[in-house]
Amino acid sequence: MCWGVPAKVLKVEGFKAYVDFGGGVKREALVAVSDLKDGDYVIVHAGIVISKVDREEALKVLEAYMDMAVQQAREDGLNEEEVKQYYKALKSEVFGDIGYE
Amino acid sequence: MADFYLKSRLTMGTNKPPDNSNVQKKFDMSIENLYRRNRRFAGEIRTLIHKYVERLVKIHGKDFKFKFMNFCGTHEWTTVHYGIRSLLPENIELVAGPGCPVCITPSFLVEHAIKLSFEDVRVYTFGDAFRLPSVKPVEGAKSLAEAKASGGNVAVVYSFLDALKESNDYLKDSVFLAIGFETTAPGYAIPMINSLIPRNMYLLPALRLTPPAAEYAIMEAKKRSMSSINGIIAPGHVSAITGAKPWDELSRKLEIPTVISGFEPLDLLLSILELLKMILKNEVGVKVEYRRVVSWNGNVESLNAINTCFEVVDSPWRGIGFIDKSGLEVKDTYSNYDAFKAFSLDKPNRTSWSDDSLSGCKCTEVILGLAKPIECRFFLKVCNPSKPLGPCMVSSEGTCSIWARFGGYLSLKS
């Protein structure tokens, strides 16, 4: 029951929101966050919309840890040119599908 | 060897030209996959974890063990299902703490629910609690599933919203077995303060709070002089409601570094890395890895709703007993929704509380992270997911059930 699932909000109607878990099936959920809008990406937990998912933060966290990996590469003895190349490769590996710059 | 390692780093990446059209749409679809299927990056993080452990071992000695405890069934699920333990160095041990609301629901609440279902009151419940066994049988039934089979009025719903809709049409008295942690509580609180609950519907609250139980489990390990916990992996969805603040207080009080983690495999690896980094720097306090969902103050509207209609009380946990300030009960102003008052059901207090664990069953120790499921003599012998004996085998979030379904326990034995 304690299963938080990401979903997309299709329509908000007062305390009720219609969400799509990715299977194309419309399901109802109770809204527990303020200013929810159509098209928002949310976490639904036991039929309750408990939080919005922040796209920017999702990427920032990955970037922060990418920096850590790059720092480690530097400590392992890569020179600056190689570090740059490694960073570029890592970024395209992690974000390649999304086309995030 | 070193050259090979460096080369492998330089040749990674496919260098596909980014497709900027439809970025937003693609983004929505792949946001979880970034954390779920990002194999190459997970490999990099794994390397980093091993490097950090090497550094820590130089300081603390070769045999030093780092014990990290998680407090959410879904974390344990991710750990076992994706084989996270097999990726970690031997010095890191991941332990599952109390993180399943079904496993810790006291037996007396199940007994009340079964009794009501035979008295022509419809009992709504989540699928997980449907098979949750009681210790004492009520009219021959030892769970709501058995009660339904012998004619009890029980209905399984996916969410509280579904139950509200159904009971609107049902017209006769109905009760909702309201189990859950902080995450589920706003689901009951918001309909309550907005008068969305029909007059014939009552709540049988079994709501519990996570941070007090986390503290209890860690202190209990200390009391039994077992190796202490070096890091807390805090539950992400509980923190979405409560915010990071309570975990920060707990972390400073117990002086244990804490990271609030998401539920994808990469989330867990990043959290473990962050914990190691904190141990290396001798930091305490909370770090949030699950920043895409968790904020410092949490979900303020939901917290307000919870504070309006629930009050924090000392509550009993199955097999454990009373834990200070660890449960939510309906406030007097909203007592017309309280099934305890409406059907005059009795509640145990500290003196009348009797242990409600099955003799021989190690569920209590498993819940508190003091024992592994394989140390229980019932595990996969008389107790299995299709025929559960103890509460940990019932819910899909219970540690025993996860270990039984996804395995990996045989390699962990050695």
pLDDT tens figures, B198-213: 999 999 999 999 999 9
B34:A62 CB<8 A: yes
B31:A85 CB<8 A: no
Gap from B226 CA to chain A (nearest CA, Å): 29
Q: How many CB pairs below 8 A link A and B?
A: 205
> How does residue A52 score in pLDDT terms, banded at 50, 70 and 90?
very high
What SS3 state is found at B365?
helix
Q: Which chain B residue has the Cα nearest residue A58?
A: B292
Listed residue (B255, B38, B88) closest to A61, CA to CA = B38
The two counts, helices (H) then strands (E), for chain A are 2, 5
Across residues B227-251, what is the average pLDDT? 95
The closest CB to that of A96, out of B16, B237, B305, belongs to B16
Write down the CATH number for the domain with range A4-53: 2.30.30.140
Q: Which chain A residue has the Cα nearest residue B36?
A: A94
Q: Say if B199 falls within a structural domain.
A: yes
| Cβ A91 vs Cβ A70: under 8 Å | no
Measured from the Cβ of residue B169, the count of other Cβ atoms closer than 10 Å reads: 7
CATH number for the domain that contains residue B133 = 3.40.50.11740
Q: For residue B333, give both structure tokens.
A: 């102003």
The closest CB to that of B14, out of A30, A57, A96, belongs to A96
The pTM of this model reads 0.91
Of the listed ranges B37-41, B249-253, B280-284, B290-294, the one predicted with least confidence = B37-41
Q: Which domain holds residue B142?
A: 107-210+298-342
Q: Say if B167 falls within a structural domain.
A: yes
Q: With beta carbons under 8 A apart, name residues in chain A contacting B194.
A: 15
> How does residue B70 score in pLDDT terms, banded at 50, 70 and 90?
very high
Across residues B242-249, what is the average pLDDT? 96
d(CA B264, CA B253): 29
Gap from A11 CA to chain B (nearest CA, Å): 16
Residue A28 touches partner B, C-beta closer than 8 Å: yes
Instruction: Considering only residues B284 and A76, tell me which one the structure prediction assigns the higher pLDDT.
Output: B284
Q: Say if B120 falls within a structural domain.
A: yes
Q: How many domains, in total, are found in chain B?
A: 1
A3:B74 CB<8 A: yes
**Predicted confidence (pLDDT) at residue B159 exceeds the cutoff of 70:** yes
For B235, which DSSP code?
A: E
**Predicted confidence (pLDDT) at residue B20 exceeds the cutoff of 50:** no
For B379, which DSSP code?
A: B
Pair type for strands B66-70 and B92-96: parallel
The closest CB to that of A97, out of B9, B30, B294, belongs to B30
**Predicted confidence (pLDDT) at residue B21 exceeds the cutoff of 50:** no
Measured from the Cβ of residue B352, the count of other Cβ atoms closer than 10 Å reads: 8
Q: For residue B94, give both structure tokens.
A: 């991941």
Listed residue (B271, B354, B321) closest to B98, CA to CA = B321
A2:B181 CB<8 A: yes
The two counts, helices (H) then strands (E), for chain B are 19, 11
What pLDDT does B11 receive?
52
Residue A36 touches partner B, C-beta closer than 8 Å: no
Residue A96 touches partner B, C-beta closer than 8 Å: yes
d(CA B225, CA B356): 25
pLDDT tens figures, B322-363: 999 999 999 999 999 999 999 999 999 999 998 888 889 999
Residues 59-88 of A with CB under 8 A from B: 59-62, 65-66, 68-69, 72-73, 76-78, 82, 85-86, 88
The ranges assigned to domains in chain A are: 4-53, 56-95
CA distances from B178 to B48, B187, B190, B206 (A): 43, 10, 14, 6
> How does residue A36 score in pLDDT terms, banded at 50, 70 and 90?
very high
What residues contact B358, with CB distance under 8 A and at least 6 apart? B135, B389, B390
**Which amino acid appears at position A80 of this protein?**
E
B293:A100 CB<8 A: no
**What average pLDDT is seen over chain B?**
90
Instruction: Considering only residues B4 and A61, tell me which one the structure prediction assigns the higher pLDDT.
Output: A61
Gap from B107 CA to chain A (nearest CA, Å): 18
Across residues B362-369, what is the average pLDDT? 94
- Token pair 């990290």: residue: B68
Q: Which helix (H) or strand (E) holds A62?
A: helix A55-75
Across residues B222-241, what is the average pLDDT? 92
Q: Which helix (H) or strand (E) holds B391?
A: none
Gap from A8 CA to chain B (nearest CA, Å): 8
Q: Which helix (H) or strand (E) holds B303?
A: helix B300-309
Q: Which helix (H) or strand (E) holds A50?
A: strand A48-52
> How does residue B19 score in pLDDT terms, banded at 50, 70 and 90?
very low
Q: Say if B10 falls within a structural domain.
A: no
Q: Say if B4 falls within a structural domain.
A: no
Across residues B94-111, what is the average pLDDT? 94
Across residues B155-182, what is the average pLDDT? 92
ipTM over 0.90? The verdict is yes
What pLDDT does B60 receive?
92
Listed residue (B188, B180, B134) closest to B161, CA to CA = B188
Gap from B44 CA to chain A (nearest CA, Å): 7
Gap from A23 CA to chain B (nearest CA, Å): 12
